[in-house]
Amino acid sequence: MHPSNLFRRRLLLAGAAGLAAGALSGVAHARGAAVQPDIDGTKVWGARSPQGTVSVLQYRPSRIVVHHTVSANSTDYSRARAHAHAHWVQDLHMDDNGWVDTGYNFLVSRGGWITEGRTGSLPALTGGRAFVLGAHTSGQNTQAIGIACEGQYHAGAQPPQAQWEVLVTLCAYACDQYGIASTQIFGHKDYGTTECPGVYHDMLPELRAEVAAARS
Ligand SMILES: [Zn+2]
């Protein structure tokens, strides 16, 4: 990537995700050219402890599956809202579904804040050699990490630009860390009868293209 483009992208991110300029100065270029985004780990957003053992798979995932959480399309784009949304999802998955922890590996808020989902997903991603077994896509959880976008996009709503930008950045970083081809990004409905992730599914070709560009 041309330095001016990288700078522009960082500026975009700083605006989109509300990141302080200082937080971007030490950006690591792990294995490829993708920018490492800020991700709030479970301790940062105050997640509950898992109710049982979380399994860490000692190999790299081969694809990414995109979801939406079907939460309300909030117009609160704050980091606090991203944390509240992470709690809402965790409570739903642990208390209603009876799962050990949040089903997704990562969540992207409508304001462009990233939170770690299932505990351990963040250190596994930064390590780049293992990933946490989630509960997000039947038949795919041992091969794919799940990234869920806050909101519901199956009834005509369009995702906020900040969420889109940060989804691109997170996917690019995950692809670089795990050596996943940019073409290997899918939507939940590719693997089952669901409307998830709504219009994001129609946007997958553009997502793959922008991820590829972010890595080059
Ligand atoms: Zn889904």
pLDDT tens figures, 95-150: 999 999 999 999 999 999 999 999 999 999 999 999 999 999 999 999 999 999 99
Ligand 1 (single-atom ion) residues, CB below 5 Å: 67, 188, 196
Tell me, in angstroms, the distance from the centre of ligand 1 to residue 113's CA: 19
Tell me, in angstroms, the distance from the centre of ligand 1 to residue 187's CA: 7
Q: What is the pLDDT of residue 31?
A: 62
**At residue 60, does pLDDT exceed 70?**
yes
Q: What is the pLDDT of residue 26?
A: 40
Answer whether CATH 3.40.190.10 is correct for domain 3-215: no
Query: Looking at residues 54-70, what average pLDDT do you find?
Result: 98
Q: What is the pLDDT of residue 19?
A: 44
Q: How many CB atoms lie within 10 A of CB 52?
A: 11
Tell me, in angstroms, the distance from the centre of ligand 1 to residue 68's CA: 6
Confidence of residue 32 (pLDDT cuts 50, 70, 90): confident
Confidence of residue 33 (pLDDT cuts 50, 70, 90): confident
> Over the stretch 170-212, which tens digit does the pLDDT of each residue have?
999 999 999 999 999 999 999 999 999 999 999 999 999 999 9
Round the average pLDDT of the chain to a whole number and report it.
Answer: 90
CB 159 within 8 A of CB 111: no
How many helices (H) and strands (E) the chain has is answered by: 8, 7
**pTM score above 0.85:** yes
CA distances from 7 to 11, 12, 171 (A): 6, 9, 19
Give the domain ranges of the chain: 3-215
% of the chain residues with pLDDT over 70: 86
Of 24-33, 38-47, 148-157, 205-214, the least confident: 24-33
At 164, phi and psi to the nearest 5? -60, -50
For 112, the 3-state DSSP assignment is: coil
> Over the stretch 1-27, which tens digit does the pLDDT of each residue have?
343 344 344 444 444 444 443 344 344
Its sign, for the CA torsion 176, 179, 184, 188, is negative
